[in-house]
Structure 1
């Protein structure tokens, strides 16, 4: 009877042991599955060193390539205006006509004086030549010969004076045609027909402005200038032999129009009020989108940075103290926080000067779900 009771008890204990073993195996499998689920996938960018062209954005002010104030060169009454205000004019194009009646009369008188002087030269020259022959034959005295020679020389001098007056009279007639000294856009006329004009008057008749090309005067701080020169001296930034940097100016709120040119020179003195150096650039302005006095922002090429490390701005954050840091995936496949030294931005990237090496992976996607020390899977982001 006792042997029959022991057998069911042994079967119950064996069943309980098997159930505990099965539960242990299930917990172990669930733990391994959870651990695998914790290794989430993050998007990374592999840091590479390359040469990049550096640009800096600076404020500037546009100024005209040429400006000419048109003034009269003879006195007289303004007879007519021969241009449309605000239009384009060419150099040599007639703009105004001054009453030329008086100057034409002076021209006719000067022509008559030249004709009279030529006749006097012809007469005195013949007498002088006859006097030379007579003096050889001792038919006249030396005094008579000297007087004939002096009369001839005086007649030639009178002819030269008359010719000079004729040239002046012709110029005065030409000056009654007020012409454009340069090509460009002409402004409004300051005086109307019937106005009395005088040489040297303070008020110009009009103003012509040449807009293509156009100058851009750019202000750069002395600290940035010295920093750039130090980088060039160290060899980190390389410029061309002539140091003619390229300049790009964008116009409009959306910057939909841009024009390019080159940097001409920089001032040798510093403005004591702003502590800035003025740079002058010359740019194309074929459609006259940039006008004198307009405020612009210019992108100035400063050289080429050798072996630069670029990191997307989305992968760089700041701590409460303002220090830049990035999350990277180390060789063990774990997340690591790394503090960086950043210099400036190029497009959407930071230039990193310290804290990273070429080949390291910076996390740019999935930053909200990770923390230092967490194992992760990586996926390269293009």
Structure 2
């Protein structure tokens, strides 16, 4: 009697599916992905830099008391526009008027004395001619004329000083501009021992914007020949100032600690919107590049070591992964230094569906705003 062989249950279970069944079919091939493309073009681009800085007044004048006295009144409105020569303060002129009158009297006295000595000297010269007086008396008379003339000049200078001081009692604006608040009030003693600060006037139209730039960027700016170009101003809230400015000058030396150079731009400020101390950013044209390749930023995948990648549609309608090197960002585009020559079909939509080397169904790219305005798209 032959022995009965017992197979493990697992072996029997594995053998059962293979009995009476056909081989499974391969999965169906994936259909080509639909992508939209945009032709790669060349254009002329303007390279700009946004540089931070602060607004500064063109001219600042401190109104100070030039004579000592009691302040009688203030004749301006704080924060208003004033013109050069406008009366701002009035210092009590009475003591200064008295000093001026005294100087006037001294001048009249010195003038009369000078005239008398001249007449005396004339008579002595006539008497010397007939030997009626000694030569010494004639010499003394001539010396008296010189002394009297000197005293007359001193009296005249004192009178001029007194008249100037009397004029300084009326404090006027040295420049045109916007005046701030009054530092002193009526009844205050000003100008005693020092020139008391009374108010500050700032000329705000035009106005300066001072900012810094690296020395390397400054060299590039000069090589590009745009150092006389217009400058745009971006305010603290990000909005653009309505007027353009112009670059005026650069410092001749570089800050050794930061490697930065101070630049200054001038902007018109007819409405007085720009105030000294205001923080802003200057958008300066660094260079103008002609015939360069640009691509939308949304189509570029950033990589390491300054490299990036884009997806293209080749001549056989296959997806192609291309490595490129980008430079500056211009708005919503990248400037391409290498990797693209222009004319390639750049994939704008459908990158995630398309595999490099796989066939695709390309369609021209339509921007979203054009889609929304197209009635057929709804």
1:351 match: 335
Q: TM-score, normalised by structure 2?
A: 0.80
Which of 248, 261, 264 is the equivalent residue of 2:248?
Answer: 264
RMSD between aligned alpha carbons?
2.9
Residues 1-382 of structure 1 aligned to structure 2 (within 5 Å) = 38=32, 40=34, 42-48=36-42, 50-199=43-192, 201=194, 204-220=197-213, 222=214, 225-226=215-216, 229=219, 238-240=224-226, 243-251=227-235, 253=237, 255=239, 257-267=241-251, 268-270=253-255, 272=257, 276-319=260-303, 323-373=307-357, 374-379=359-364
Contact 2:232 2:240 in 1 (8 A): no
Q: Give me the whole-angstrom Cα distance separating, in 2, the residues matched to 1:212 and 1:186.
A: 13
1:188 Cα deviation (Å)?
Answer: 1.4
Unaligned runs of 5+ residues in structure 1 are 1-30
1:78 Cα deviation (Å)?
Answer: 0.7
Contact 1:87 1:185 in 2 (8 A): yes
Q: TM-score, normalised by structure 1?
A: 0.79
SS at match of 2:204: strand
Q: Give me the whole-angstrom Cα distance separating, in 2, the residues matched to 1:125 and 1:206.
A: 51
Contact 2:313 2:345 in 1 (8 A): yes
Q: Give me the whole-angstrom Cα distance separating, in 2, the residues matched to 1:328 and 1:172.
A: 84
Q: Give deviations 1:314-335, integer Å, cap 9, x for gaps.
A: 2222358884211223344433
Q: Give me the whole-angstrom Cα distance separating, in 2, the residues matched to 1:176 and 1:154.
A: 34
Q: Which has the higher helix share?
A: 1
1:142 Cα deviation (Å)?
Answer: 1.8
Q: Give me the whole-angstrom Cα distance separating, in 1, the residues matched to 2:94 and 2:218.
A: 65
Aligned residues: 338
1:310 Cα deviation (Å)?
Answer: 1.7
Contact 2:84 2:175 in 1 (8 A): yes
Contact 1:271 1:277 in 2 (8 A): no
Q: Give me the whole-angstrom Cα distance separating, in 1, the residues matched to 2:166 and 2:241.
A: 47
Q: Give deviations 1:42-95, integer Å, cap 9, x for gaps.
A: 2313321x4332210121122222222222111111111111111111122111
